[in-house]
Structure 1
Amino acid sequence: MSDDTRDRALDALHVCEQVSTGCTVAMAAIGGMAPEIHLALDCADVCAAAHRVLARGEGGDAATVAGILDAAVRASEASAAACGAHADHHEHCRRHAEAARACVEAVTAFRTTL
């Protein structure tokens, strides 16, 4: 397992959680974006959980680690698609979609090392 690849995944998960949370707050202030808010909250929560599990290092249950990483990729993909549709007129959605896509890339790269 590459420590560099793991570190990139950890960083991407953390950034995605933070940016997703910020986007959620901004979307709530705008109103009328309930589906996107739900996906962003899922993304933030799953990325935070994946970050905690991955940060523990080796020694955990491999299936649990793989499962939470797969869930983070799925949640990030869904949220990136939803917010990406609003990226041209909401800066917070643009930043969120970018962070979620970067998370997908970093986590997928790490996942292949398991």
Structure 2
Amino acid sequence: MSHDVLEAAGVTTPAAVVEILHEAERASTACASAMVGAGGMEREVLLALDCADLCSAAARVLGRRHGDEAVARAAVEAAMLACEASSAACGAHAGHHEHCRRHSEITRDAAALLREQGGG
């Protein structure tokens, strides 16, 4: 999503935040799919799917003008917590699975940016 599109729509959320949420969603979905194929990582799959869903929801909320700051903060907080949990879980497999390494890095970066933007 381009910064110009967000600005023209009156969205005040930095474009980098919306973009990293979309990136975390894609990485989480891809990693969950790969883990299902590998088998034996049910907890990690569930955390990755939670992360994908919460990042997607937060990106949608933050990618538009919002009327309730508390709702926006809650969306950011939920996505940040999901990113942290999923990053930690997949990080434990980063040495064995490239998809886990990349997913862990992206969600760690997303959580850090969300925290920096005031998510907790």
Match of 1:68 in 2: 75
Q: CA separation in 1, counterparts of 2:22 and 2:49?
A: 14
The structural deviation recorded for 1:4 is 9.0
Counterpart of 2:42 in structure 1: which amino acid?
Answer: A
| 1:82 counterpart residue number | 89
The answer to whether the 8 Å contact 1:77/1:104 transfers is: yes
User: Alpha-carbon deviation of 1:5?
Assistant: 6.8
Question: What secondary structure, in the 3-state scheme, does the structure 1 residue paired with 2:54 have?
Answer: helix
What runs of 5+ residues in structure 2 fail to find an aligned partner? 1-10
Runs of 4+ deviating beyond 3 Å: none
Scaled by the length of structure 2, the TM-score of the pair is 0.86
Partner of 1:24: 32
- The answer for the alignment partner of 2:45 in structure 1 is 37
Q: TM-score, normalised by structure 1?
A: 0.90
Q: Which amino acid aligns with 1:37?
A: V
- Choose between structure 1 and 2 for higher RCO, CA contacts under 8 A separated by at least 6 residues: 1
Using the aligned pairs only, state the percent identity: 49
Residue 57 of structure 2: aligned partner: 49
**What is the DSSP-based 3-state SS (H/G/I as helix, E as strand, rest coil) of the residue aligned with 2:14?**
helix
Tell me, which stretches of 5 or more residues in structure 1 are unaligned? none
Do the aligned residues in 2 keep the contact of 1:5 with 1:109 (CA within 8 Å)? no
Corresponding residue pairs, total:
109
Gap change, CA 1:101 and 1:4, over 3 Å in 2: farther
The CA deviation string for residues 68-107 of structure 1, in whole angstroms up to 9 with x for no partner, is 1000000000000000000001000000000101101111
In structure 2, distance between residues paired with 1:95 and 1:80 = 9
RMSD: 1.6
Report the alpha carbon displacement of residue 50 of structure 1 after superposing the two structures with TM: 0.1
- What is residue 110 of structure 2 aligned with on the other side? 103
Contact 1:23–1:92 at 8 Å: present in 2 too?
Answer: yes
> How far apart, in 2, do the equivalents of 1:82 and 1:47 lie?
17
